[in-house]
Amino acid sequence: MTLTLQPVRVATGFDEEGMMAFDDEQRLVAVLVRLSDENEVAPGQWYLEAGFGRLEGINRPTFSNLDMAKDWIGQRLSRT
């Protein structure tokens, strides 16, 4: 599975740098937000702000980089 990331600003109130993740069929499957360096829990990491389809309703993990986020999303979407 190939995921495509597209930059987006997300109106979270504090952390706005985001990425939309699209699957092979160009469906939106996730929105990731980069947490600010001032974040007390996971500074500078990427957070699963929203997941759709098979990613909906699951825990919202953080990732140290976008490659890790893409791998995690791809694994969840590939499960049968």
pLDDT digits (tens, 9 = 90+) for 42-73: 999 999 999 999 898 768 899 999 999 999 99
For residue 36, what are the contacts with CB-CB under 8 A and spacing of at least 6?
Answer: 14, 15, 43, 44
pTM (predicted TM-score): 0.90
pLDDT of residue 80: 58
Q: Domain segments of the chain: what residues?
A: 4-78
12-32 per-position pLDDT tens digit:
887 789 999 999 999 999 999
